Copies of this chain bind each other. A is one copy, B any other.
């Protein structure tokens, strides 16, 4: 598989999804549209939209049949980013000022609310039971995503969380919407339950693999690439996967180091976490989740070219092409 397949698929599907996304946003009034357009101008790979339209093709439909689902999952993803940046007090997003830091918290809240509602409106523009099924799928995924976000917030107030709790949180926060994105195109073209479920499992496992890699990069990655200052995850007491693993292995001594951490202690804390083998274990979890994602894809009959695209995107988002 050439490393260019994913980029080509993202570019092709972006040409299909982006205009529909901007058309939907154009309906919003200026007070809401301005902060949304500021946010969307920051880019984003459009992975969720790509999965939705390729999922429609994988299930035997046309990519364009998945467009309402693609727009809906992109809207939900972007609404969650607007609200997450307020919640996490993040002043930057994609190397640009975040929406709340430019337009204020009130407008960022309302803009997020508007995108969440627009996602549902886009899905129900046509009256068909497949559309209703898509709303059911998106509703379940959004509930899991919000639950994962709530867990993430609750964990920051706790000394430690188990690896199982962390995995459940990440399956919700990241896995649920990627699962929905992967399955919603198949739902829209009327695919059977087995295909919908397999695509959903693919996206869910891919989400976990992506998040585990992202967590590792959050501690050991280059700030220029990740866009986050060194140690920010540790300093905010985020219970990311390597931290949960390290705490399970390092016990009370490591808990004390992380709890009292300041900027000067980040390098030492990072070394202590690494010494527990938490980085390798997190990568091993990512590898297993990635393998399970591919097994799910292989478990049902799909259109081969679309399956190839899905595998390429899975490699791409888990940074296997580097």
Q: Measuring CB to CB, which residues of chain A are less than 8 angstroms from any residue of chain B?
A: 28-29, 31-32, 83, 86-87, 105-107, 109-110, 112-114, 116-118, 120-121, 124, 127-129, 131-133, 135-136, 139-140, 142-143, 146-147, 149-151, 153-154
The SS class assigned to the A binding surface is helix
Q: A132: which of B117, B132, B139, B143 is its contact (CB, 8 Å)?
A: B132
Among the listed B31, B136, B147, B153, which residue makes an inter-chain contact with A153, where contact means beta carbons less than 8 Å apart? B31
CB atoms of A142 and B117 under 8 A apart: yes
Contact B105 A83, beta carbon cutoff 8 Å: no
- Shortest CB-to-CB span from A278 to chain B, Å, is 25
A106: B residues at CB distance < 8 A: 86-87, 153
Say whether B110 contacts A86, CB under 8 Å.
no
**Across-interface contacts of A143 in B (CB, < 8 A):** 114, 117-118, 121
On chain B, the residues within 8 Å of A129 by CB distance are: 127, 129, 132
Chain B residues, Cβ within 8 Å of A114: 143, 146-147, 150
Sort A-B residue pairs by CB-CB distance and give the 9 closest, nearest first. A31-B150, A87-B106, A121-B139, A117-B142, A132-B132, A31-B154, A114-B146, A124-B136, A124-B135
